[in-house]
Structure 1
Amino acid sequence: MINLIKLSVGSETVEAMTAWQARRVAQGPDGLPRHVTRMWPKRASEILAGGSMYWVVKGVIQARQPILRLDEVEGADGIMRCGIVLAPGPIAVVPTPKRPFQGWRYLKPEDAPADRDANAEADTPLPAEISLALAEIGVL
Structure 2
Amino acid sequence: MSRLHLVKLCVGVDSVAELVAWNAQHESGEGGHTTRMTPRRGDELLDGGSLYWVIRGQIACRQRLLALRPVTDGDGISRCRLVLDSTVVPVAPRPYRAFQGWRYLADKDAPPDLADAPGNAAMPEEMKRELAALGLI
- Whether these two folds match at TM > 0.5 is yes
Q: Indicate if the aligned counterparts of 1:97 and 1:132 stay in contact, CA closer than 8 A.
A: no
Q: Output aligned runs, 1:38-49, within 5 Å.
A: 38-49=36-47
1:132 Cα deviation from its structure 2 partner: 2.7
Q: Give the aligned CA root-mean-square deviation in angstroms.
A: 1.6
**Residues 123 and 136 from structure 1, CA distance in 2 versus in 1: closer, same or farther, beyond 3 angstroms?**
closer
Q: Output aligned runs, 1:94-105, within 5 Å.
A: 94-105=92-103
Structure-2 separation of matches of 1:48 and 1:78: 26
Q: Indicate if the aligned counterparts of 2:92 and 2:112 stay in contact, CA closer than 8 A.
A: yes
Q: Indicate if the aligned counterparts of 2:33 and 2:83 stay in contact, CA closer than 8 A.
A: yes
Structure-2 separation of matches of 1:16 and 1:104: 20
* Aligned residue type for 2:129: L
Q: Please, what TM-score do these two structures have when normalized by structure 2?
A: 0.90
Q: Output aligned runs, 1:9-88, within 5 Å.
A: 9-24=11-26, 31-88=29-86
* Aligned residue type for 2:67: R
1:125 Cα deviation from its structure 2 partner: 3.3
Which ranges in structure 2 are unaligned for 5 or more consecutive residues? none
Q: Secondary structure at the match of 2:117?
A: helix
Structure-1 separation of matches of 2:6 and 2:120: 28
Which ranges in structure 1 are unaligned for 5 or more consecutive residues? none
Structure-1 separation of matches of 2:120 and 2:114: 11
The percent identity for this pair of structures is: 41
2:117 counterpart of 1:119:
yes
Q: Secondary structure at the match of 1:118?
A: coil
How many positions carry a matched residue from both structures?
Answer: 135
Structure-2 separation of matches of 1:127 and 1:70: 30
Q: Please, what TM-score do these two structures have when normalized by structure 1?
A: 0.88
**What stretches of structure 1 move > 6 A for 4+ residues in a row?**
none
Structure-2 separation of matches of 1:61 and 1:85: 19
1:133 Cα deviation from its structure 2 partner: 2.6
Residue of structure 2 equivalent to 1:131: 128
Structure-2 separation of matches of 1:17 and 1:49: 24
1:103 Cα deviation from its structure 2 partner: 1.1
